[in-house]
A and B are shown apart, each in its own frame.
Chain A
Amino acid sequence: SQQGEEDPQALSIQEGENATMNCSYKTSINNLQWYRQNSGRGLVHLILIRSNEREKHSGRLRVTLDTSKKSSSLLITASRAADTASYFCATDGGSNYQLIWGAGTKLIIKP
């Protein structure tokens, strides 16, 4: 089965700096999605990138996808304290679009 892995596992930066998180996966995908989770609460959808796309932007978020390396990165620019959360990548490659998840990156933004 496909398996996403994020790195780093934890990232602590100053408010205003950019945060970059990476994700790798093992098998072919339809899409790759990024989600945020605050303190063990619900999973909030951030952005989806399709397998035929290389880059996508949404507000302060930039996602890249390299299918040859089976990897993706999430960049959050001009970070804010409210961005403190865990960030997960999830891939779907099955016909039912079920999500296979990475272990997540815990991001802490220091004020």
Chain B
Amino acid sequence: EPEVTQTPSHQVTQMGQEVILRCVPISNHLYFYWYRQILGQKVEFLVSFYNNEISEKSEIFDDQFSVERPDGSNFTLKIRSTKLEDSAMYFCASRPDSPEQYFGPGTRLTVT
């Protein structure tokens, strides 16, 4: 069964450094998302992506964040200059032309 994959599973970085989180969505899916979950808190929507552009973003998704689909398979989230409060689990999700979203296993980002 096809699944969404994410790498790395755990990323440790120093404050102020740039990080790129990678996702490979399910191949025939059209819509892509990033969410994050700070430890012990709710899952929060960051951004949605369709047809090679951002379709919606939340207030969290400020200028420090960017997304890209550099080729036909990868979908990346870049945080330009990480802050301590960016420490969280980051989940990528994709869906076909139906509402059910399929999530990757997540990347745990730790900013020190």
Contacts and interface: CB of A to CB of B under 8 A. Distances in A.
The finding on whether chains A and B are genuine partners in a shared complex, rather than unrelated, reads yes
Interface stretch (B14-22, B73-81, B100-108): B100-108
Interface in A1-43: 30-31, 33, 35, 40-43
A99 B48 CA distance: 10
A101 B42 CA distance: 6
B99 interface: yes
B60 to A, nearest CB: 12
Contact of A92 (B50, B89, B99): B99
A94 B101 contact: no
B35 A99 contact: yes
B44 interface: yes
A88 B43 contact: yes
Q: Report, as a range, how many residues of chain B touch the other chain.
A: 20 to 34
A98 B57 CA distance: 9
Given A42-B91, A43-B91, A104-B42, A96 B99 contact: no
Given A88-B43, A96-B56, A101-B44, A41 B31 contact: no
A103 B99 contact: no
B45 interface: yes
Interface of A: 30-31, 33, 35, 40-45, 48, 88, 90, 92, 94-104
Given A40-B39, A104-B42, 6 more contacts: A42-B105, A97-B48, A97-B99, A98-B33, A98-B48, A99-B43
